[in-house]
A and B are shown apart, each in its own frame.
Chain A
Amino acid sequence: AQTVTQSQPEMSVQEAETVTLSCTYDTSESDYYLFWYKQPPSRQMILVIRQEAYKQQNATENRFSVNFQKAAKSFSLKISDSQLGDAAMYFCAYGSNYQLIWGAGTKLIIKP
């Protein structure tokens, strides 16, 4: 069965600095998708970034980028120029066969 592991329950970063959130997954499939979702205190789930497994190029969305290492089954999220509004829970998710498997989440704290 597929699993998603986020080994950092909590991370903190100084405002304007860069932080990387880790995610590893386990699968025997070759075709799948990976996602990072953000959940601020409002509880709303917001898609941050998406990566197709067959694409070697790492996805980027403004200040957010991923480091996708398919062989290592690693999918980390880098947030550059951290802002106070980035404070949230971040969830990594693996998608295949009409299901999303989620990690336990990483709480990101931004220090002003």
Chain B
Amino acid sequence: EAQVTQNPRYLITVTGKKLTVTCSQNMNHEYMSWYRQDPGLGLRQIYYSMNVEVTDKGDVPEGYKVSRKEKRNFPLILESPSPNQTSLYFCASSKHDSALYNEQFFGPGTRLTVL
């Protein structure tokens, strides 16, 4: 089944404790992206990647890191999480190097709470 998977689905952590949210897609997509969703703000892009070893900042990259060592994986790293990073996070992928021309496939979301 073609899909984007994220782990964990739910996470409660404390301020300053490094964490990684994994994202993997099995569709051989070039483009992958991370978003955060907050009430009243819609989705905001954190980072995106157009292919292996090619990443770029979105609108809200502060406090996050990403890497794209393999085509299928695009982990999101929070080196020192803070309470303002409490949010719902989505990973998405697209089959073209431009997400704009193709449907983006979304993962199920990760609910992160930072205490």
Contacts and interface: CB of A to CB of B under 8 A. Distances in A.
Contacts of B45: 99-100
- Pick the most buried of B42, B48, B58: most chain A CB atoms within 10 A of its CB: B42
A84 interface: no
B21 interface: no
Interface residues of B, number: 26
A43 B106 CA distance: 10
A88 B46 CA distance: 24
A102 B50 contact: no
A104 to B, nearest CB: 5
Nearest to A42: B108
A6 B50 CA distance: 29
User: Which among B43, B48, B59 has the highest number of chain A CB atoms within 10 Å?
Assistant: B43
A98 B106 contact: no
B92 A91 contact: no
B48 A98 contact: yes
Decide if the interface of chain A is mainly helix, strand, loop or mixed.
strand
Given A44-B108, A99-B58, A101-B59, 17 more contacts: A4-B42, A33-B101, A45-B90, A47-B103, A47-B104, A91-B42, A93-B43, A95-B99, A98-B31, A98-B56, A99-B59, A100-B100, A100-B104, A102-B35, A102-B44, A103-B42, A105-B42
24 contacts: A4-B42, A43-B108, A44-B106, A45-B90, A45-B92, A45-B104, A46-B106, A47-B103, A47-B104, A95-B99, A95-B100, A98-B31, A98-B48, A98-B56, A99-B48, A100-B33, A100-B45, A100-B99, A100-B100, A100-B104, A102-B42, A102-B43, A104-B40, A105-B42
